[in-house]
Structures are given as structure tokens and as C-alpha cells.
Amino acid sequence: MAALTELTAVELLEQLRRRACSSEEAVKAMGAVIRRRDPAIKGYLEVDEEAALDQARSADAARARGESGSLLGLPLAFKDVLNLAGQPCTCGSRILAGYRAPTDAGAIARLRREGAVFLGRTNMDEFAMGSSTENSAYQVTHNPWNPDRVPGGSSGGSAAVVAAGEAWAALGTDTGGSIRQPAAFCGCVGMKPSYGRVSRSGLVAYASSLDQIGPMTRDVRDAALLLKALAGPDPMDSTALDLPVPDYMAALATELKGMRIGLPKEYFVGGSDADVERAVQEAIAVCRKLGAEAVEVSLPHTHLAVPTYYIIATAEASANLARFDGVRYGTRTKADVHDPIEMYAKTRAEGFGAEVKRRIILGTYVLSSGYHDAYYLRAQKIRSLIRDDFDRAFGTCDVIMAPVTPTAAFALGAAATDPLQMYLGDIFTVPVNLAGLCGLSVPCGMTTDRLPVGLQIIGPAFGEEQVFRAGYAYEQATQWRHQRPPIADRTDLQQG
């Protein structure tokens, strides 16, 4: 039998159901792997193994009593932007040092009700602002495939620990691609649900009209399982819609007969790395062989998506981050100050990193008197045009396929002095958030430098079933899901 840490989440749950292993054994095995590998990856900010073992023993006892839950005993990691009662939640920022969550986030509460066990908090770009996980105030996370490359961001810690075999699955958040891009860079699966599919209560907000929580997993089946547990309404979040939640596992199929795949011409006009474009085109060819029909679609406002996103997202961030003032929670400047305004200014100057300050300043500017209509109002109008583009496209296709990113993982430090270049890398992901759609990243190849490439599968709002169907069929027809980075070689795994 394969080592426990080598199994997918679904496979581990089957072992737990058959009493072939216990949740306590699984936590101990994964703890050993984390201790060996994470000093090089730095994917976790904190692993609370004792708390996880207590939860695991409770899950094992519940199973012995005949209780059930779709995730009973499954250990998971979660991004440091989600509140878990009694645990720190720093959002990768110094300004929240010392804060402990009073309650569970809605998504955490749902997983807990299904019996999940929580291993620890993963590293992230500060307040989810970044595409490399280099903006964390605490540490830089490395890509398991090449430690000199970024894991992507802002959910880079979650992607790295899943890819490195340090977690069966993890939660991430996606505001403009922050699940899909790191999943593509690290060679794992990442699902960004439709806006309103998963509760955002207890998620520390970056941009409230864009943020969504989703799973990062080893394969598509695991992502379908976790989204089923995560999805649904929440009285604490009015944007979590009360819609039926399909059985996503039942939607998985190994053929695509009758499915129409839209290929947006604006996403295939050059400018992407040759290895990325080749891998995506080969993936589309596989889907055709599985019975799908490919049709060209047009998303004519794609070129406006990045500037539109960085106006709307920064404006909302400026408002959301105003609460971090050194008064109610988190850290406060220790400098000698003479009035509250000076205290606010020094606390925020010391507590926020450069990228967060940059986005707060930009967002405050576009909301300021005299500029609101010229920037923010206009961006909202363009957002409507982008949504209309997708509506028209989905009139002729069931899903859209495209690259996740124009390049594979870039070198650490490459975007540090050129944030605009980093922003432009979001060109294929931010339109999905602006339109409130769902999107999946599935491994589809490797570059000549042995770095993963991700295929993006986009569905209409609340069209996750079709997206999962396409992703699973492609995944099962190829071998990319079996690729493991050097740090997670099979010999090391067997030792765990």
C-alpha cells in the first residue's frame, strides 16, 4: 500500500472509512513529512500538530461511534487569511501580530462540521496582495519544483504545501487569480468558485466584490469533494447565495462528448511563453479526442481587464484596510506619539508592507473627490462590459479553455522592482473574478526547464459541474497529475 502521505484526499478518506488507518496516524505521518520538507519550502507559517492530533482523535472516536461526515478525519491546511477560532490570523502582515480569531470563518465552520482536521496556516502575500508570496512579512515561500522560483500568489503557501506533499489539500482565496495562478506554478489543482458559491464570513477582506475561497488539491476529484463541503448559504454573509449545491463528484466523467469548448481569440494572440502555449494547445487537442467540440469565441474587452481590476480591487482594499489602525486589535506603534492621527499614521506605516501601501494609496486616489467618476465609476462600467462578453461567449460554448498565466513560475525577486509587470501577469485570470465566474487550474504540461503549466477551464456563474467534468476528463486522459517535484520524490514519501 502507498504511504498515507502519498494518497489523494479521497483515497485517504476511503482508508479511514475502512479503518485501514486512523486520522491520528495520518496527522503524525504528515507531521513527519512537514518537518523534513518545509524548512526548504517555507509553505507553512505555523503547524499546530498537537491541536491537529486532538482533532484527529476526536474524529477517530466519532467514527467509532458510527458518526459520519464527508471529510471525517481528513487533515487540511488553510491560508492565513481565514479565521479559525483561537488561532492567530495575521494575513501575512505585521499589523495583525498578536491577533487571535474569536470565531471560525464560515468556510472553516463548514469543513469542521464535516469532520475536517486543521493542520496549520499557510504563508501568503500580505493581505492577499501579490502574485509571488514574496510580500509576506514573515518569510518567502519557494516553489517545490525549483527553490529559485516563486510558488505564485497570493495563495502560494497553500499551493506549495500541496505540491510538495506536505498536505492532502489546502484552502486558498482568489481575488484576481490567487488560487489558479499558484496552482499552475506549482503543478496542483486549484478551483476558484463562482462569486456567492462559498461564504466569505470570517475571511479577512481584500476586495469584497471579488474575493472567493476555494480548494487547492492533488487532483480534480479532491477539489470536487471539498467544494461540495464548502458551498452553500451562510446567514453571516449575504453574498453567499441560497442555491442548490450539486453533487460535484457525480458530475465527473471520462469523456466530453457533446461539450463545446470556447477558445477566446484574445487569449491566443501571442505574448505567452512558447512552452505555455504549446502545453495548452496540446491539452485542447486531448479534449477534442475525448469528444469535445472547439469553437472560437471573442472576449473583446480583455485588454481592459487588468487596469479595471486594479482600480476596483485597490478601491475596495483602501476601504477594507482602513480598520487596521492600532486601536481595536493587532499591533500598535511603540513610537512616542502626541495625538491619534500620528498614532494611526505610524502604526500603518510600520505595520503594512510596500505592496499593501501601494494599493491603499492607489485605491484612495481613485475614490477621492474629483477622480471617483473618472476612475472607479468608469471601471465599474467596463466590468459590466467584461461580464457581457462572457455571457455572449457562453451562448455558444459550455466552458472556455485558456492558459492560466502567460509564463511558468518566474524567478524569486524578478518582479520586486517592477510591480506593473507582475500585475500584467494576471491578464488571463482577473476577467473571471470581475465577471463572478468559476475557474479551474489543472496541470497540463511542463516547460523545458521542468516547471509546471496550468490549463484554465472557465465556466459560467454556478457552472462548476461542467468545469469539473472537463477538468476531470482531461486529467484522467493524461499523466500530469502523477508528476511530483524533486522534493517529493517517492523514496522520501515512503519514509513518511
Residue 419 is predicted with a pLDDT of 76
Return the SS3 of 455.
strand
- Identify whether 154 is preceded by a cis peptide bond (ω within 30 of 0): yes
Question: Which residues have C-beta within 8 Å of that of residue 66, sequence separation ≥ 6?
Answer: none
Question: Which residues have C-beta within 8 Å of that of residue 391, sequence separation ≥ 6?
Answer: 460
Tens digits of residue pLDDT in 453-485: 999 999 999 999 999 999 999 999 999 999 999
Residue 330 is predicted with a pLDDT of 87
- Residues that are catalytic: 79, 154, 178
Tens-digit pLDDT string for the chain (496 aa): 469 999 999 999 999 999 999 999 999 999 999 999 999 999 999 999 999 999 999 999 999 999 999 999 999 999 999 999 999 999 999 999 999 999 999 999 999 999 999 999 999 999 999 999 999 999 999 999 999 999 999 999 999 999 999 999 999 999 999 999 999 999 999 999 999 999 999 999 999 999 999 999 999 999 999 999 999 999 999 999 999 999 999 999 999 999 999 999 999 988 899 999 999 999 999 999 999 999 999 999 999 999 999 999 999 999 999 999 999 888 999 999 999 999 999 999 999 999 999 999 999 999 998 899 999 999 999 999 999 999 999 999 999 999 999 999 999 999 777 777 788 889 999 999 999 999 999 999 999 999 999 999 999 999 999 999 999 999 999 999 999 999 976 444 444 3
Instruction: Give the position of cell 508528476.
Output: 483
Question: Which residues have C-beta within 8 Å of that of residue 480, sequence separation ≥ 6?
Answer: 187, 442, 443, 444, 445, 446, 452
Tens digits of residue pLDDT in 350-398: 999 999 999 999 999 999 988 999 999 999 999 999 999 999 999 999 9
* pTM for the full predicted model: 0.96
Question: Which residues have C-beta within 8 Å of that of residue 18, sequence separation ≥ 6?
Answer: none
Instruction: Give the position of cell 518582479.
Output: 415
Domains of the chain: 4-299+388-495 (3.90.1300.10), 304-381 (no CATH)
Q: How far is the first Cα of the chain from the last one, in angstroms, to the nearest whole number?
A: 13
